[in-house]
């Protein structure tokens, strides 16, 4: 029964982790205005000579959740558990992009191409390509940033855990998330837009900073949820199994 609980929990956490990672990649093609979505005035900060507001990829909604899930998995299954799921997620994200690329190349049915909407005629094939056909540099940048961010998250998490012991979950979870999100925010932009699109490095750094400020706030706001999920898992596992898994995860690193 204990092994069944341990395995079932890993499957549930892993599935949620991978699903969020893949969704974040695909919904990230849309850029949204945080201020307009909340009905507030745009900040228009002058950063490195550019006027920047909180205009961000929709993927930022889910990436903090992915890194929080990383901390939960880290807590109960250690580095090995996180690395297995991170590599599997990267493979499945690559597979998903490959399947989408094949789908884009397929010749559309004539009746499907044009659709009349309230805004006029819509070319469905073109819309499909624009929404799902992310650039190669964006794909490469997001995958590299994801893997580097995960490795950094694991390393910082266990460094802080060795320093604090089993206490102060908020410190190691928030600390590791802030470091991993810092890396993720700048690496993906640097690869996708500085290397891939030739953007001014100051613009890349400015956008990265704005994105990171948002992620920092979200990471702090999600801390109570981390404790809530931790309590649910402890209740599910039972005190004995929970303590055993926490101890084993700590000793294995």
DSSP 122: E
The answer to whether 149 and 181 have CB atoms below 8 angstroms apart is yes
What is the per-residue pLDDT for 189?
Answer: 86
Buried b (16+ CB within 10 A) or exposed e, 10-47: beebbeebbebbbbbbbbbbeeeebeeeeeeeeeeeee
Neighbours of 157 (CB within 10 A): 26
Predicted TM-score of the model (pTM) = 0.86
Token duo for residue 14? 């892993």
What is the per-residue pLDDT for 1?
Answer: 62
Q: What would the mean pLDDT of 204-218 be, rounded to a whole number? A: 87
Residues whose CB falls within 8 Å of the CB of residue 97, separated by 6 or more in sequence, listed in order: 25, 134, 139
What is the per-residue pLDDT for 248?
Answer: 84
What is the per-residue pLDDT for 253?
Answer: 60
With pLDDT > 70 as the criterion, what percentage of the chain qualifies?
98
Q: What would the mean pLDDT of 9-31 be, rounded to a whole number? A: 91
């Amino acid at each position: 029964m204990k092994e069944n609980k341990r395995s079932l929990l890993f499957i549930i956490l892993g599935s949620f982790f991978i699903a969020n990672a893949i969704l974040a990649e695909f919904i990230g093609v849309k850029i949204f205005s945080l201020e307009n979505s909340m009905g507030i005035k745009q900040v228009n900060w002058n950063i490195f000579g550019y006027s920047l507001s909180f205009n961000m990829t929709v993927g930022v909604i889910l990436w903090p959740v992915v890194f929080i899930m990383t901390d939960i998995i880290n807590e109960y299954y250690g580095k090995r558990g996180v690395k297995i799921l991170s590599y599997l997620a990267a493979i499945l994200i690559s597979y998903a992009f490959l399947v989408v690329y094949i789908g884009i190349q397929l010749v559309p049915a004539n009746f499907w191409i044009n659709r009349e909407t309230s805004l006029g005629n819509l070319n469905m094939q073109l819309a499909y390509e624009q929404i799902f056909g992310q650039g190669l540099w964006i794909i490469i940048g997001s995958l590299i940033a994801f893997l580097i961010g995960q490795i950094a998250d694991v390393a910082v998490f266990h460094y802080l855990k060795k320093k604090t012991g089993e206490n102060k979950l908020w410190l190691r979870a928030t600390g590791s998330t802030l470091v991993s999100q810092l890396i993720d925010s700048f690496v993906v932009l640097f690869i996708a837009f500085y290397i891939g699109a030739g953007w001014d490095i100051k613009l890349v750094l400015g956008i990265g900073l704005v994105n990171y400020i948002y992620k920092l706030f979200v990471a702090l706001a999600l801390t109570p949820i981390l404790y809530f999920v931790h309590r649910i898992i402890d209740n599910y596992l039972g005190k004995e199994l929970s303590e055993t898994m926490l101890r084993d995860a700590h000793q294995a690193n």
